[in-house]
Chain A
C-alpha cells in the first residue's frame, strides 16, 4: 500500500515513471537513453525537494510507513540469520527483534526495534515501543556477543520505550539503565544505526556504540517533537516548531558528535528503494566494522567510553 506525503508527491510520481520505463527498457533498448534522462531528472528533483525539507518533514519521513524497518535490513544484510526470542524472565517482546547471523562471513549479533505496517503487525510489534522485556532480551544478546566475541549491530527505530502500566510495574527504568550500562562495558565492536526514529531513552538503550550512523532522514531526540510541544506550549500542533528548536536531524547530530556518519538515502528516501537503502548502509557498516578491527577488546571498551565521555556542552 503506497502512502504518499504531500511534499514528496512530485518526486514519487517521477520515480514511479522511472520504474515503469525501467520495465520497458529491460525489453526494448530503444528506451535506454530516455530512461537515463528521466533517472537523472528524478534524482535531481528529489535532491532539490528534499534539500528544502523542514525538520518536521524529515521526522515525517523517518516515520514513513513504507520505510525499511529492522527486519527489512536484516533480510538484506545478514545471512543465516536466526532470530532469538525472549528475556528468560517474563515474556517475548515483539517490539524488539534480535538474533545471530553472518555479516560478510563473520558471525554477529543483531538487535533492533521493530515496527509493524499492518494493524496486526503493529499490535504484535507494539508500534516499535518495547516493554522492559525487550530491553532485557537486548541485554541477553549483548552478553551472548561478549561471551562469544561477536560484533554487535543495533538498529534504532522507536518513538520511545512503552509508557504503560505493566512497563512501570516490571521496571522500565531499570531495564533501560541496565541496557545502557551493559553496552558500555562490552569488549566487542558495537555499531548502531538510527534507521528511523531515535526516541529518547528507549532508543539510547540500543545506542551505546563505538560508532553511531544515522540515515539521512532519521532523527534522534531527547523527546518527540509532539511531547516537547505538549510540555512547552500545551499543544502538540506546535510539534514542527519543537522539531526545529530541538535540532534533531542528521546534520545537527553530526555537528554535536552524536553521530559519526550520515548514511545517504536513495533518491526520494529509503522507502523508495529498500534494496538500494540496504546497499548504502552495508557499505557504511562494513567500513565502520573494518575501522574498529585494529582495536583490542579492552581498546573497544575504552574507545566507547571516550566517545560518550566527551559529549555535552558546558563552561569550565
Chain B
C-alpha cells in the first residue's frame, strides 16, 4: 500500500453563506494523481467552516492531509481533492450532485417529509432548535436528499446523506425518505445509487431512529426482487446505525479514499479494548483489505466507476 496522508479531522459544518460566483471558465488540468475521466466543468461551491478569509486575497484553506494551503476556488474546482497530496476533503451534497449526476440535476422526491419532535427532546438545547439551525446552515430540509436523476444517461434513483445536517444522522425523516427511495425504485424498476455519510441513528428521536434501520432494510430487501443494481457509496464518515443498515449491503460497495467507516467509534473501541488502535484502522484501505468493500474510487473516477457498474450489472451489451 502507498503511504497515506495523516488522519483528517471530522469535517466542519458546511455553511450556506452565499459566495460570489466565479465565472464558468475554471476548467483546469485537474488532479495530481492518475486521471481516467475529466471532472465536469463547475463553479466553486459553498465554503466550509475551515476556510479562512484573508483580506484582498479571497479564501484559503489548509489541506488536512498535507498542510499545504490552497485557494478555495482551486480546491472547489477539483472537487475538494488536494492537488498536492490527493486528500479528499468533505464535500457538500450540491457538489456530489455536480460530480455524479448528469448536469448535476436531481428531480427531488419527498421534500415535503419534514422532521418533528416525538420525544420533545432537549439537552440544554431543544431538538426543534437544532433542526432549525441545521436547516438554516445547510439550506437542506433534512439529512438526506432523494430523487430521480441520470448518471451518464442511465436513469437512476439517487440518494445522498448530508453530513453537514446534524452529522447526517438518521431519524424518522431520513428513514422514511430512504424507504421511499427503495419503494419508488422498486415500482419504477430503477437502479439505486445511495451515497452514505452519517454518524448513525439520531439520538434525539430515540428508539424511533433505531427502527428506521429495520424500515429501510425491509424496503431494500423488497427492492432486491426487481433485480436492479443497488450501488452503495461510502463516504467519510459512515458509522453506527447507518453503517449497520444500508451502507454495507450494496450489490457493490464503493468507497472513497481514506474515509473512516465502521460500526463503533474509535474512542468507544479504545476504551473497550483498553489499547490504542492501529494506524489506518477503519479507513477505506482497511475495509478493502478485510473484504468489506469492493472498490476504492477517487472522486476523479467516481462517476465513471458508477457508470461501469450500473452498465455491467444491468447486463446490457455495448
Taking Cβ atoms with an 8 Å cutoff, the residues of A that contact B are: 161-165, 167-174, 176-178, 180-181, 184-185, 200-201, 204, 207-208, 220-223, 227-228, 231-233, 245-248, 252-253, 256, 258, 304-305, 308-309, 311-316
Q: Which residues of B contact A312 (CB under 8 A)?
A: 171-173, 175-176, 208, 211-212, 215
Count of chain B residues with Cβ under 8 Å from any Cβ of A? 63
* CB < 8 Å neighbour of B217 from A172, A181, A258: A181
Does B277 contact A246, Cβ atoms closer than 8 Å? no
9 contacts between A and B (CB under 8 A): A164-B273, A180-B214, A180-B244, A200-B241, A245-B119, A248-B206, A305-B222, A308-B214, A314-B116
* CB < 8 Å neighbour of B113 from A184, A304, A314: A314
Which of B10-18, B56-64, B263-271, B301-309 forms part of the interface with chain A?
B263-271
Taking the nearest CB of chain B, how far is it from the CB of A135, in angstroms?
10
Q: Bound state CA distance, A188 and B284, in angstroms?
A: 38
Q: What DSSP secondary structure best describes chain B's contact surface?
A: helix
Taking Cβ atoms with an 8 Å cutoff, the residues of B that contact A are: 112-116, 118-119, 121-124, 171-173, 175-176, 179, 201-203, 205-215, 217-222, 240-241, 243-249, 261-265, 268-269, 272-273, 275, 277, 281-282, 286, 290-292
Taking the nearest CB of chain B, how far is it from the CB of A244, in angstroms?
10
* CB < 8 Å neighbour of A172 from B203, B220, B264: B264
Does B213 contact A201, Cβ atoms closer than 8 Å? yes
For the complex of A and B, list the 10 residue pairs with the smallest distance between their C-beta atoms, beginning with the closest.
Answer: A163-B264, A312-B172, A313-B118, A174-B248, A184-B218, A173-B243, A172-B263, A176-B244, A311-B211, A222-B210
Q: Which residues of A contact B121 (CB under 8 A)?
A: 245
* CB < 8 Å neighbour of B292 from A162, A174, A316: A174
Does B207 contact A256, Cβ atoms closer than 8 Å? yes
By beta carbon, the residue of chain B nearest A315 is B114
By beta carbon, the residue of chain B nearest A201 is B244
Taking the nearest CB of chain B, how far is it from the CB of A71, in angstroms?
25
Of B208, B265, B277, most A-chain CB atoms within 10 Å: B208
Taking the nearest CB of chain A, how far is it from the CB of B213, in angstroms?
6
Taking the nearest CB of chain B, how far is it from the CB of A90, in angstroms?
12
Does A245 contact B122, Cβ atoms closer than 8 Å? yes
Q: Bound state CA distance, A132 and B153, in angstroms?
A: 39
Does A204 contact B213, Cβ atoms closer than 8 Å? yes
By beta carbon, the residue of chain A nearest B211 is A311
Does B292 contact A309, Cβ atoms closer than 8 Å? no
Does B211 contact A308, Cβ atoms closer than 8 Å? yes
Does A232 contact B246, Cβ atoms closer than 8 Å? no
Q: Which residues of A contact B272 (CB under 8 A)?
A: 162-164
Taking the nearest CB of chain B, how far is it from the CB of A175, in angstroms?
8
* CB < 8 Å neighbour of B203 from A167, A231, A256: A231
Does A314 contact B115, Cβ atoms closer than 8 Å? yes
Q: Which residues of B contact A200 (CB under 8 A)?
A: 201, 210, 241
Taking the nearest CB of chain A, how far is it from the CB of B161, in angstroms?
15
